[in-house]
Every structure is written in C-alpha cells, then in structure tokens.
Amino acid sequence: MATLPKTKRDAADALRRTIRGIEEAASPEQPRLPLGVSRIDRALPGGGLRLGCIHEVAGDEAATGFCAALLTLALAAGAPGGKILWLARGDDLYAPGLVRYGIEAGQLLVVSGLRRQEDMLWAMEEALRCRAVRGVVAEMGGVAGGGGVGPAAGRRLMLAAEGTGVLGLVLSRRDGERRRGGGGVQVAVSRWRVTGVPGGHGGSDGPETRWRVELRRCRGGRPAEWIVGWGDEGWKAVPPSDAASGPGMRRAG
C-alpha cells in the first residue's frame, strides 16, 4: 500500500469509503465500542470495535486477557445485568484472574469442555441470539473437528449477532503463528493477534502486563500494531520509545 503514489492512495481510500458505505447500508448499522486507547480507536472504522459481529483474537495468553478487557467494555456499554458467556475448551479459565480486567463474579457464565467444533459453533450461535448476553468468547483454537470457521458457519454467527448486537469473539489459543488458508474465522470483521511482550520496569505491582496488539485485518480499516500496557486504571498505549526500553531485571523478596 505504501508503494502507491499519493493520488492513487487517495483514490483507493475514496473507493474504500464508498464500499464501506454500501456494506453498512446493507447490514444494519451496529454501535461501535471504543477501546479507550485513542491510538487504536483511530485506526478502527467508526472509532471502535463494531458490536453485533464476530472478531477473531489469536495469540498466546495475552489474547485471553485482551478478550477479557474487550468483554468488560461490552458489559459497560450495555444495560445493567448483562452477562458474559465464556465457551471454554478445557476447564482452566480462572475467574479470579479476570477480576483484574474488570469482570466480576456473577457476570460470567462458563460452559466448559466444548471440545468439538460443531458444539462450539452451536453454543456460540445460541449465545449470540440472546439479548441478555453482552459478549461471547469461543475458545476455538485447537478444537477438534476442523480448523477455522467456514463461510457458512461464519455467516450464521454473523446473522445471529447482527440481530442482537452481542459482541462475538473467537479466541484462537495455541495459534501463535498465523495459518495460511483455511484457518481463522473468515467472516470476522477484524482479526487481532495479541502476544505478551516483556514489560517495562514494573511498578510496585510486579512485572507490568504488556501486550503487542496487532490488528491484522479489519474491514474498512488498515492493519496496524501497537504496544499496550495494562495497569490498574485500564490500558494505555505505550510509546514506541518506551516499549523498546531495555530489559530491567527486578528482584523482590
């Protein structure tokens, strides 16, 4: 994209905006969910993550944290009393760890042991149809029965989410490297990859939680990459100069 001359790039941008207009006229306009990090929100069309559709988040454990943070935002954006549904492959999700990302006890419902892809898709579709649910996470990576979500299954999920405005997240764990072809959710409006990066010096709170957040694909947006730190007051973008700071070995105890 960067190789295009400026006029051509402008023309391409104009075309893209037109296409986006047509696309959004076809599907009902869904509200946006600002992430609260202005650098990221600026890169997302409409200034935030589109609700009522599917987003894919891949990566290591940081992706789980990223999903939890997005779900908290979705909870806050909706009416009180909303719930989060976590469709888990195993039984290792640890709810006390989610508190740091803003999900309290009582807001979370977990369905565990969904090892088959078809079960996962079925459960996700059902959950996306439910108005009392604000967000659904499906731990898809490594589920038996197929890599990725095909166009037909994906379309069903999209339709279910469109009707209710529920945020649907497909969490691909163990899928550190991007797979070519069939992998991933093809209908996902945005695809993210979130991985842990070594934190800064850390405060009194131990090693700081720091993620590399890559927006790999986004309908109507451009791929981009940020380093984000998670602290007590939520997340903030870390300036590139600070992110590159050398390793600081901190010892305690």
Partner 1 sequence: MSRERNPATQPGAPALSGPRISRRILAAWLPWWPSERLARHRPEARSRPFVTVAEHNGLLIVDAANPRATRAGLTPGMPLADGRAIVPDVIVRPADPAADALALERLARWADRFTPRVMPDGTDTLFLDIAGCTRIFGGEEALTASLRSALEGFGLTVRLALADTPGAAWALTRYGAENPAVAPSGAGPDGLKRALSRLPVAALRLGSDVAEALVSFGLDRICTLFAIEPVELIRRFGTEPVRRLDQALGRIDEPITPLRPLPPREAHRAFAEPISTAADIRAAVDGLLDDLCGEMGRAGEGARRLYLVCHRVEGDRRTLTVGTSRPLRRKKPLMGLFAEKLDQVEPGFGIDEIVLAADIVETIDELQTDWSGETPGGYRAADEEELANLLDRLGNRFGFGRIGRPVPRESWLPERAAVREGLLGSGSGVRPGSGPHPGSAAQPKPAAHPAVPASWPEDRRRPLRLLSPPEPVEAVNLEPGGSPFGFRYRGRFRQLRAVEGPERLECEWWREDAPRRDYYLAEDEAGCRYWIYRAGTQDPGTTPRPRWFLHGVFA
> In terms of CB distance, is 100 or 216 closer to partner 1?
100
CB of 239 to partner 1, least distance (A): 18
Residue 131's CB: how many other CB atoms inside 10 A? 12
C-beta of residue 156 within 8 angstroms of C-beta of residue 168: no
Counted residue by residue, the chain has a size of: 253
119 binds partner 1 (CB under 8 A): yes
92 binds partner 1 (CB under 8 A): yes
Q: Which one among 9, 17, 42, 131 touches partner 1, defined by CB under 8 A?
A: 131
5 binds partner 1 (CB under 8 A): no
> In terms of CB distance, is 64 or 219 closer to partner 1?
64
Q: Which one among 113, 151, 182, 239 touches partner 1, defined by CB under 8 A?
A: 113
130 binds partner 1 (CB under 8 A): yes
Radius of gyration over alpha carbons of the chain, in Å? Answer: 18
Closest by Cα among 113, 211, 123, 104 to 168: 123
Closest by Cα among 213, 172, 240 to 37: 213
Q: What gap in Å lies between CA 174 and CA 228, rounded to an integer? A: 21
Selected range binding partner 1 among 30-38, 184-192, 203-211, 216-224, rule: CB under 8 A: 203-211
- At residue 92, φ and ψ (nearest 5 deg) are -105, 0
CB of 99 to partner 1, least distance (A): 5
CB of 149 to partner 1, least distance (A): 19
Cα-based distances in Å from 187 to 155, 167, 219: 7, 14, 10
Q: Which one among 56, 66, 73, 238 touches partner 1, defined by CB under 8 A?
A: 66
Q: What gap in Å lies between CA 12 and CA 5, rounded to an integer? A: 11
Selected range binding partner 1 among 12-20, 41-49, 95-103, 217-225, rule: CB under 8 A: 95-103
Closest by Cα among 247, 236, 234, 146 to 201: 247
143 binds partner 1 (CB under 8 A): no
Interface residue list for partner 1 (CB under 8 A):
60-66, 68, 79-83, 85, 91-101, 104-106, 108-114, 119, 122-123, 126-127, 129-133, 195-199, 202, 205-207, 209-212, 230, 247-253
